[in-house]
A and B are shown apart, each in its own frame.
Chain A
Amino acid sequence: MERSVSFTLNGQSTTVKTDDERMLLWVLRSDLGLTGTKFGCGEGLCGACTVIVEDEALRSCATPLKQVAGKRVLTIEGIGQHGLHAIQRAFLSHQAFQCGYCTPGMILSAYALLLKTPHPTREQVARHMEDNLCRCGAHPRILDAIQEAAGAAKAGA
């Protein structure tokens, strides 16, 4: 049902007036014009739409807007606001993408992992990223990049 829903989006307080059962993905992309969050499947099966809600990676295509009321939401547009984030830098240095369509979701999934597990093993990274799909096959580089970003975080970068 149509309501005003307020949340913190990339550090800014934001209010949207719309049907609060609508999925966050479409509110971000269409109502708010933040198209960095991608649509890949609409069923929670690919991870292209991953965003961070209160430090957890969530599938925005399967997250009703009302679920983020009063919460902190971070999208790809928000993580590099003050210079590229270490994960973004590592994706660049490892060329960890091809078409780039899965990349925002990959970066945000990795972001959530490193918040919880700052120094994951390669197996932990792979397990965490399992449901983020990449058709171009950038997988080995994505794992390398995430591990490098974790190392950079360790070094205090």
Chain B
Amino acid sequence: MAEQAIATPMTRRDLLGAGAGLFVFFGADLEAQEPVRLPGRQSGPSDFNAYLKIGADGRVTCLGGKVELGQGAMTELAMALAEELAVALDTVDVVLGDTDLCPFDMGTFGSMCTPLLVPAVRRAGAEAKAVLLAMTAERLNVPAGQLRAEAGIISESSHPSNAVTYGQLVEGKRIERRLANVPVKTGAFQVMGSSPRRRDGPDKVTGSARYAGDILLPGLLHAAILRPPAHGASLKSADTSEAEKIPGVRVVREGSLVAVLHERPDVARAAREKVRAEFDNPPAGPDDRTIFDHFLKIAPEPRVVAHSGDLAEGERLAAAVVEQTYLNSYVAHAPMETHSATAQVEDGKVTVWASSQAPFQVKNAVASALGVTAEKVRVISRYVGGGFGGKTEADQGVEAARLARLTGKPVQVVYSREEEFFYDRFRPAAVMKIRAGLANGKIVLWDGQVYGAGEREADPFYEIPHRRIASVGGWQGGNPPGMHPFSVGAWRAPSVNSNTFARESHIDLLAAKAAMDPLAFRLNNLANGRIRRVLETAAREFGWTPAGTPSGRGFGMACGVYSNACNATIAEVAVNRATGAIQVKRVLMALDEGMVVNPDGMRQQAEGSVMMGLGYSLGEEIRFRNGEVLSNNFDSYRIPRFSWLPKIQIVLLDNPDTPALGGGEPPIISMGAALANAVFDAVGARVLQLPMTPERVKAALAQS
């Protein structure tokens, strides 16, 4: 059934057909809160702002422009709507990531679903319920104050049999009544705060979840596109005659796009191998070893992004100064589903199923590539097999749409794993220099420069009277020309993983210099109550006892902030001095995520962050040379696996007074420093570069 629904898509008319439901319309208040970093910012049309629909059968549809990437958006939005509308959770259906059906959304990134879309859906639900109560009051001639709404039924409190269902109320009518300023619930939640089963579960455990590459349409052709061997290599010539001899193969060229198509994906790929192509050699460029010097050489003076006091005064006050340079490599998103898209052009209407975190951006990109108006393009991103920031752009959607138009057939483009690595917009490599001064257990000076990572969370939240932070380059563009040899982009908690690694590593260096316990040192320099609380909670739950570092125990801590969520992580490791291998035994994480809508969903994100954090901290690193990406599959790019799994303890702090915060990114930010500090605590060797490969651990041991 699900497959039918996708193969012959529901239309907005089906959903919003005249007389079939009640609509609640919203002003464009979401738009004001959108981040400014991304291009293509636009407001949603005012008549396209419906977040919910109540069917004549009483079932409720929740509509959201976000995408289910695995982070549990479907479940969380259903919970939010069920709560405010007062309907049973299992009567809510969720439709996400469909640009024809769902209200405009910038994209699913920056952990914004919980802080922005959940409130919007809650307001929609609250307003709809108030309208329904008002309608019922008129219909039953009972004052609204004597009515109660529960499980989709409105009844008179004193005569429960005097009742009407939501379905009966809206049946046969189209209602556009609005009520201003309807408050959402502030407590006594019945659904929010619980941990129901995920809505996407049945589809996912039975294999019936359809991802973009699972859309099979009559006459579908699979495209294998000719790709350059290296970034910067341009196509000189392509002889496709051998490929064209394979029965059923079609070759299409448009500009530099050369595609081999066949009704079977493997045959198309094999045929692409027969294309004899010549590319210009790209100019020589940096490799994964020289990249850091390359940054320092070509980058202009970092721009000051935060400043207080007077650095000279800080220098004068400091009894000791600690200076260090931290590095991290490029890392890949490596979602298990590669970028995929299926496109169809029918009667001038373009439909693209795309694995994308930002279907509305894909819609605009497809429209401009095809030279059609955006209304002619529909993008559907129902299930996406992981994103982590890497599916914000969806070039494959544009490729599939162009090829569908060129061939007159539906076309599917599924990146090979090698293409996925090649075209990934990596987390940028980075250099972070920090010079900090210490006096009587207090930090009196902090002078930091960031190259490549971006500035977010580079400014320490510790109480430091004399500080200056400067930054150049970053994941969101604005990089000096030639700085990164390929595209970079948002990788789960962009720039914050790098800056937290550097800052919290440096804090432990200072603690060691001050001969203080790392927890006591942090608390001694920290006024922020929420961060203090996560640190203290983590320490208590972990069983931290004060000791100077290195203590030989292999315990390391780090704390961080991401989009107002606070995190403290403590890791326990063992280090094999002979091999340099790090074994992570235990990770405990305390999180202040504000009010938690779905505690188990939050835990899933935190557990996943621990695993992914192990990856960027211990093993993941893109190797490259002269524009060629040498790490191109899961043998040359190792991601965490079952044998890496430590004991994981997640502690969610109770903080109902802070609104719910995004949960996908904050838990990953402290992993690098917690592990680096744990390694130092175990063996006294400071590893200054992520990932902490065995070679780097051995080199640090040799220096310690």
Contact = CB atoms under 8 A, between A and B. Distances in A.
B325 to A, nearest CB: 30
Nearest to B334: A135
A127 to B, nearest CB: 8
Contacts, number: 176
Interface residues of B, number: 58
A38 B336 contact: yes
Interface of A is mostly: loop
Interface in B197-244: 197-198, 200-211, 213-214, 216, 222
B643 A126 contact: yes
Contact of A126 (B70, B200, B639, B642): B642
Nearest to B610: A137
B609 A137 contact: yes
A53 interface: no
A42 interface: yes
Contact of A140 (B266, B335, B645): B645
Contact of A137 (B206, B414, B608): B608
8 contacts: A22-B264, A40-B337, A40-B417, A43-B417, A77-B208, A133-B639, A135-B639, A138-B608
Contact of B336 (A25, A91, A135, A141): A135
B417 A133 contact: no
Given A41-B417, A135-B334, A98 B71 contact: yes
Contact of A92 (B202, B383, B416): B202
A31 interface: yes
Interface of B: 69-72, 197-198, 200-211, 213-214, 216, 222, 263-267, 334-338, 383-386, 388, 414, 416-417, 600, 604, 607-612, 633-635, 639-643, 645, 648
Interface size class, chain A: 35 or more
List the 8 shortest-distance A-B pairs measured between CB atoms, nearest first.
A36-B207, A99-B70, A137-B611, A101-B385, A100-B204, A137-B608, A98-B70, A76-B207
A147 interface: no
Nearest to B266: A26
Contacts of A68: none
Given A98-B71, A136-B386, A45 B206 contact: no
A55 B635 CA distance: 27
Contacts of A42: 416-417
A7 interface: no
Nearest to A139: B645
B200 A131 contact: no
A41 B633 CA distance: 7
Contact of B385 (A95, A99, A130): A99
A30 interface: yes
A29 B266 CA distance: 11
A100 B206 contact: no
Contacts of A113: none
